[in-house]
């Protein structure tokens, strides 16, 4: 289970930190992990790596799937490793504090266009007024909230990775109105087809190995799973105005991968982008082109279905942008032709001109944001 983000010092979390190249090259790649972190009795709690690259994390429990022999030997005589979907072991005090940390929303929020932002550090989703950037609500109770997406009715889907679920909220609502199970998968991104209402979910990884794309017909029931033999890990996805689905991710050789699942098809068509992408980021239809992000570089490429890049939006100053959301078609009276970018390492999200790019026009502080979407 790959977890984007740094180890939160204020949480007692059983995890392994590892760097980007360490992940891409395999668990025992060229850069070795050290030192071991234990619980004071000699039982392994985690492994730290040193690298110029940004650290990455993986739950310790995944060793049961990728390295069962190592895990069995490591945990002999120790407490059982945490089950998948339970990323932290809180103290009673922390559990009590979280129980009292309930979701809330200002009564006036339902009348506004709203920006939803997931925080990896806090395990919450924060809600802001698109027009004023004021915090108007907080949604709680998640286990590693990753990507976000919204539908034409303003409903918001939250990828609850640690629980292998997709959770739906009404615009400005504080309680889930639907929950979909994504069994044995570790979801990362999502998108809603504006034509059919189908919900697509990119599963970065699964308990049995590689990832997949799960599609829930009309955003209900159990999903149909789709895989591309040339894509091992799926990150984000987006529908165009005709119902074609575009996804990005990485191949088994850790190369950027981009593909289209045409409407009504069961097979992907691979697309070679004519730009080098360091690490796959968000995917969204901007009304004319498919917008594809490079998380490492903080840029968005506007490409056609052949992979030819027609333009680039540089989100200047952004640091590690997993997801962006193009707001050009929503709340135009406030910010015309705008893209929202979640800067994880910058601990903020920002408003940028789109497709021009450049420096941010507005910046809002958020602890380690990952996903972002606009609801109206």
C-alpha to C-alpha distance for 188 and 158, rounded to whole angstroms: 10
How many H-runs (helices) and E-runs (strands) does the chain carry? Answer: 4, 31
Our measurement of the distance from residue 257's CA atom to the centroid of its chain's CA atoms, rounded to an integer in Å, reads 17
Give the model's pLDDT for residue 101.
84
145's tokens: 């909230």
| Residues in contact with 233: Cβ distance below 8 Å, sequence separation at least 6, in sequence order | 2, 204, 205, 210, 211, 249, 250
* pTM metric for this prediction: 0.78
C-alpha to C-alpha distance for 173 and 170, rounded to whole angstroms: 5
SS3 at position 273:
coil
C-alpha to C-alpha distance for 11 and 28, rounded to whole angstroms: 27
Tokens 């990753």 map to which residue?
146
Q: How many CA atoms lie within 13 A of 44 on its CB side?
A: 21
Give the model's pLDDT for residue 85.
33
Give the model's pLDDT for residue 288.
94
In order, the DSSP letters of 6-28 are: PPPTTS---EEEEEHHHHHT-TT
How far, in Å, are 40, 58, 353 from residue 329 at the CA level?
55, 37, 13
Low-confidence residues in the chain, pLDDT < 50 = 1-100, 329-335
Task: Give the residue from 336, 325, 226 showing the smallest Cα distance to 281.
Answer: 325
Task: Give the residue from 176, 179, 142 showing the smallest Cα distance to 161.
Answer: 142
C-alpha to C-alpha distance for 41 and 82, rounded to whole angstroms: 17
Give the model's pLDDT for residue 328.
64
| Residues in contact with 187: Cβ distance below 8 Å, sequence separation at least 6, in sequence order | 146, 147, 159, 160, 161, 164, 165, 166, 201, 202, 203, 204, 214
Q: What is the pLDDT of residues 181-213, one digit of tens each?
A: 999 999 999 999 999 999 999 999 999 889 999
E strand or H helix that includes residue 93:
helix 92-99
Give the model's pLDDT for residue 183.
95
Tokens 């091992």 map to which residue?
232
Burial class of residue 108 (count of CB atoms within 10 Å of its CB; 0-12, 13-18, 19+): exposed
Give the model's pLDDT for residue 91.
29
Burial class of residue 73 (count of CB atoms within 10 Å of its CB; 0-12, 13-18, 19+): exposed
| Residues in contact with 328: Cβ distance below 8 Å, sequence separation at least 6, in sequence order | 286, 287, 336, 337, 338, 339, 354
């Amino acid at each position: 289970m790959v977890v984007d983000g740094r180890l939160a010092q204020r949480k007692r979390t059983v995890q392994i930190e590892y760097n980007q190249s360490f992940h891409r090259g395999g668990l025992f790649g060229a850069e070795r992990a050290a030192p071991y972190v234990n619980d004071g009795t000699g039982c392994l709690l985690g492994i730290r790596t040193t690298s110029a690259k940004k650290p990455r994390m993986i739950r310790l429990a995944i060793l049961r799937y990728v390295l069962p022999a190592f895990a069995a030997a490591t945990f002999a005589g120790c407490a059982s490793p945490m089950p998948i979907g339970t990323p932290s072991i809180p103290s009673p005090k922390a559990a009590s504090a979280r129980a009292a940390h309930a979701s809330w929303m200002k009564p006036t929020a339902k009348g506004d266009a709203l920006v939803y932002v997931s925080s990896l550090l806090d395990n919450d989703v924060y809600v802001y007024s698109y027009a004023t950037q004021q915090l108007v609500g907080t949604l709680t109770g998640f286990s590693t909230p990753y990507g976000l997406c919204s539908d034409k009715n303003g409903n918001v889907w939250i990828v609850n990775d640690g629980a292998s679920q997709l959770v739906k909220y009404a615009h400005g609502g504080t309680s889930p109105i639907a929950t979909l199970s994504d069994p044995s998968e570790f979801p990362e991104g999502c998108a809603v087809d504006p034509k059919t209402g189908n919900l697509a979910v990119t599963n970065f990884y699964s308990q049995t190995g590689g990832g997949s794309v799960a599609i829930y017909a009309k955003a209900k029931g159990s999903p149909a799973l789709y895989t591309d033999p040339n894509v091992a890990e799926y990150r984000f996805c987006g529908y165009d105005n005709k119902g074609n689905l575009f996804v990005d991710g990485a191949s088994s050789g850790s190369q950027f991968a981009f593909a289209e699942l045409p409407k009504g098809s069961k097979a992907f068509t691979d697309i070679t982008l004519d730009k080098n992408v360091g690490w796959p980021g968000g995917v969204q239809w901007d009304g004319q082109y498919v917008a594809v992000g490079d998380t490492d570089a903080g840029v968005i490429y506007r490409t056609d279905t052949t992979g030819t890049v027609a333009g680039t939006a540089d989100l200047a100053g952004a640091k590690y942008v997993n997801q962006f959301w193009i707001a050009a078609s929503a709340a135009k009276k406030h910010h015309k032709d705008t893209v929202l970018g979640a800067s994880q390492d910058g601990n903020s999200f920002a408003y940028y001109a789109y497709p021009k790019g450049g420096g941010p026009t507005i910046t809002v502080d958020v602890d380690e944001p990952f996903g972002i979407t606009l609801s109206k």
